[in-house]
Structure 1
Amino acid sequence: MPSHALHLADLDPHVRDFYCRSLRVLQQAQVPFLIGGAYAFERYTGIARPTKDLDLFVHPRDVQRTFEVFGAAGYETELSVRHWLGKAFCGDNFVDLIFSSANGCAPVDDAWFEHAITEEVLGMTVQICPIEETIWSKAYVMARDRFDDADIAHLLLACGDEINWSRLLSRFGDHWRVLFSHLVLFGFIYPGERSRVPEGVMNQLTQQLQQETNAAPISTKLCQGTLLAPLQYRPDVEEWGYKDARLHPPSNLSQADVEQWTEHLIQEKEA
């Protein structure tokens, strides 16, 4: 099992001070937040890797208040992508403020906070995103330039015995195939560690796959690939007449949300 001590010794002192100040600003204002990203990943897996920012997860109802608190502390803030991402800047440093997922399928809700774990980060006692939500939010990241399956495999390897599998399954709901795909790959990646995933979970999802395979075909011309790799599936929804799954439950993004996120991704690739 990984050590719970986070390896942050190489963090630039100025960046470290900025992160500590940012956390104190929110704690003193009693704004609930969770730490995710590289710090949560290291906590669960023991794998440390460089990161250019600090990912803070906040409930959607607290986004405006978070902006106001940072603004009062002298930060500049922006709603970078209106349906899931904001930022708080101080000079060249910034923190990401995340309140949903890019595809709209994994919004931050009360359960994130109810199942969070308490940890020490940068010498401060904070809460870390739950393992189930960490897997849930990463599972949809399957773009050409970023595929988070290795992260999920390492999370399963390190924490398979700790996962609340019933809760994880409920998080995916009708998107259980997304989770199943990662679990199947896990068994390929670590053939000697397949028991990390309960046999009952694999049997349940295998039965669901069989039932769905035997069911009558769906008549709706729907592309759910946009939930996984939005740029790669642009032809499907822009040229080939497929409905974009991001515009339907559980995502329920607006067309303006989709267009803004697509433009943001294009700008990132061109930068």
Structure 2
Amino acid sequence: MIEPHAREFYIHTLRTLNASGVPYLVGGAYALARYTGIGRHTKDLDVFVRPEDAQPALDALSEAGYQCDLIFPHWLGKARCAEDFVDVIFSSGNNVARVDDRWFEFAPKGEVLGVPVLLTPAEEMIWSKAYIMERERFDGADVAHVLRACADKLNWDRLIERFGEHWRVLLMHLVMFGFVYPGERHRIPSEPFKTLLDRLADEQSSGGEPLCQGTLLSRQQYLVDVSRWDYVDARLANGHMSKEEIAHWTAAIDEHH
């Protein structure tokens, strides 16, 4: 399914990174295919690195002849060769799902286009995709498909820990899974589901200043809340992003539409 020039580009990229010694993981469509069996060709290759390894990875690819740029300094770099490109990812657009040592600790071994690699763990794939709820892109189906394929093998304690105070986002996806697959609700173990439902039942209204966490789910659709309705932007209030990073991320909205 991959055009020859793209295949060679991806293979050369992976071999270059292997030779550089920069630790990385392959995610995106290739990891999704490994977990779910769903194959789809995109025009990029997603590699995940620790934040401190982003620039060394881009430097290695630059030395290999690629045009490299740190597109968003809080989470994303790109390496291009003609129309093909690699995303070098070290966090998420909302800067919540930052790549850390645990991504690598639990990464399974795999092979992409004949090159040995490590893949993003299923738990981190769910964690990072669960927040993507843009008007033009919603990764809920990917989350549901990973849950369908891997629910019995997931480290649920670790997954819940990843979401932390955002556990409602995980619960939402678990409820949605039961809607999408009513005959397979049993795939979700009862204990983690009960843990989250108990939290929901016990949680009291926090009060205090109005806070909008919608900006953690969509960089565009909740701008009215923080610009006109005086809600505090959770990205700023919780220290996920700086004002400059938010402004840069917001300014790029029109480029992706």
* TM-score range relative to shorter protein: over 0.9
Unaligned runs of 5+ in 2: none
Structure 1 residue 233 and structure 2 residue 222: aligned? yes
Alpha-carbon offset, residue 156 of structure 1: 0.5
Unaligned runs of 5+ in 1: 1-9
- Following TM superposition, the consecutive aligned residue runs of length 4 or more in structure 1 with deviations greater than 2 angstroms are none
Name the structure 2 match of 1:7.
Answer: none
Structure 2 SS opposite 1:146:
coil
Q: CA offsets, 1:60-81, max 9 Å, x none?
A: 1111111221122121110111
Q: Distance in 1 between matches of 2:82 and 2:206?
A: 54
Q: Distance in 1 between matches of 2:222 and 2:244?
A: 17
Structure 1 residue 253 and structure 2 residue 241: aligned? yes
Alpha-carbon offset, residue 209 of structure 1: 0.3
Aligned-partner residue type, residue 255 of structure 1: K
| Range moving further from structure 2, 164-173 or 68-77 | 68-77
Q: CA offsets, 1:107-141, max 9 Å, x none?
A: 00000011101011101111100000000000001
Alpha-carbon offset, residue 29 of structure 1: 1.1
Aligned-partner residue type, residue 84 of structure 1: W
Q: Distance in 1 between matches of 2:3 and 2:232?
A: 46
Name the structure 1 match of 2:189.
Answer: 198
Q: CA offsets, 1:150-178, max 9 Å, x none?
A: 11111100111110000000000000000
Q: Distance in 2 between matches of 1:88 and 1:137?
A: 21
Give 2:139's match in structure 1, choosing from 132, 148, 159.
148
Structure 1 SS opposite 2:21:
coil
Structure 1 residue 80 and structure 2 residue 71: aligned? yes
Q: Distance in 2 between matches of 1:257 and 1:35?
A: 25
Name the structure 2 match of 1:3.
Answer: none
Alpha-carbon offset, residue 261 of structure 1: 0.8
Aligned-partner residue type, residue 209 of structure 2: T
Q: Distance in 1 between matches of 2:73 and 2:177?
A: 34
Aligned-partner residue type, residue 217 of structure 2: L
Q: Distance in 1 between matches of 2:221 and 2:159?
A: 27
Q: Distance in 2 between matches of 1:30 and 1:149?
A: 34
Name the structure 1 match of 2:12.
Answer: 21
**Where do residues 155-170 of structure 1 align in structure 2 (5 Å cutoff)?**
155-170=146-161
**Where do residues 50-61 of structure 1 align in structure 2 (5 Å cutoff)?**
50-61=41-52
Q: Distance in 2 between matches of 1:225 and 1:239?
A: 14
Q: What is the TM-score of this pair, normalised by structure 1?
A: 0.93
Q: Distance in 2 between matches of 1:227 and 1:51?
A: 25
Aligned-partner residue type, residue 152 of structure 2: D
Structure 2 SS opposite 1:77:
strand
Q: Distance in 1 between matches of 2:65 and 2:53?
A: 19
Q: Distance in 1 between matches of 2:74 and 2:175?
A: 31
Alpha-carbon offset, residue 248 of structure 1: 2.8
RMSD: 1.0
Q: Distance in 1 between matches of 2:209 and 2:201?
A: 20
Structure 1 SS opposite 2:34:
helix
Structure 2 SS opposite 1:235:
helix
Give 2:32's match in structure 1, choosing from 36, 41, 44.
41
Q: Tell me, yes or no, if the aligned pair for 2:103 and 2:120 is still in contact at 8 Å.
A: yes
**What count of residue pairs does the alignment treat as equivalent?**
257
